[in-house]
Structure 1
């Protein structure tokens, strides 16, 4: 599996940060691998396991609403979204993937909260497997999403200090 290049995080900024991970119930094998990668990266980089909250939602279409409520709770400093939308033979893929992506961005901009978009939008199951850490050319987009959210917490933290 390919590793990701991550910056040096500011441990003082990340100390005590609480991260919500919003995860879909669809494509569980893929999503479980994304979740494992995200949690591993967070804990290896100073986020205590007790400060990581898993929030399940039905599917990718529901992720933005879940994120909106997570942000409104004011209990978390950042959100990671994880899911997998795999193209099928109908236009359903475009509606779900597009609305999920734009909804997550809207919540992030409206709240100022870092939200990492770790929802795979792929053409087939093989692409999903490669992006969740399975296979010889695999990478884990869950890990990358965790890296993204930690870096954004550091960027925002340094701008506001």
Structure 2
């Protein structure tokens, strides 16, 4: 199972962080589950922020960049790509992964990677944070983004 070995989630008061949840619109049942997990994490960390939608996973990086430029400390990118019979899956997955990584590195902003890249619908449902799911990747991506944003702030104020 892909969740094996995951660390314990350490919560803290993240109310001072500027956070946005950015979600694709495809596969609404799964994406809505991811959003629910992200919102549960925000509540656990005493954080809040807008929920913004883009058409698909391919569009996540450009919207994440716009949020980074506006000064967000953390952007949680949520989407689902299910393998089909064409190379489209590979192109979208690679573009989203590379684009979100570029946003994080180019703008020194925490980007929560909540993009599910699955072979079938059942794998996506198992990771969506729904009542019958085995994993909650929306929660995990949000927690990771908040923890990373805290660390980036610590680094920015550390004296060498």
Give the structure-1-normalised TM-score: 0.88
| Residue 43 of structure 2 corresponds to residue 63 of structure 1 | no
In structure 2, the residue matched to 1:28 is 28
Give the structure-2-normalised TM-score: 0.89
User: How much is the aligned-residue C-alpha RMSD, in angstroms?
Assistant: 1.8
Partners of 2:17 and 2:121 lie apart in 1 by: 34
In structure 1, the residue matched to 2:113 is 117
| Residue 85 of structure 2 corresponds to residue 82 of structure 1 | no
Aligned length: 153
Determine helix, strand or coil for the equivalent of 2:80: strand
| TM-aligned CA deviation for residue 8 of structure 1 | 4.5
| Residue 111 of structure 2 corresponds to residue 108 of structure 1 | no
Cα distance change, pair 140–4 in 1 and its aligned pair in 2 (3 A): farther
Partners of 2:116 and 2:59 lie apart in 1 by: 15
Q: 1:7-55, CA deviations, whole angstroms, 9 ceiling, x for partnerless residues?
A: 243x3xx2321211110010010000000011111111111xxx31111
Partners of 1:133 and 1:46 lie apart in 2 by: 20
Unaligned runs of 5+ in 2: none
**Larger RCO: 1 or 2 (CA < 8 Å, sep 6+):** 1
Large movers: runs of 4+ above 6 Å:
none
Partners of 1:71 and 1:28 lie apart in 2 by: 25
| TM-aligned CA deviation for residue 89 of structure 1 | 0.7
Cα distance change, pair 41–159 in 1 and its aligned pair in 2 (3 A): same
Q: Please tell me whether the aligned partners of residues 15 and 45 of structure 2 are also in contact (alpha carbons under 8 angstroms).
A: no
Partners of 1:64 and 1:137 lie apart in 2 by: 27
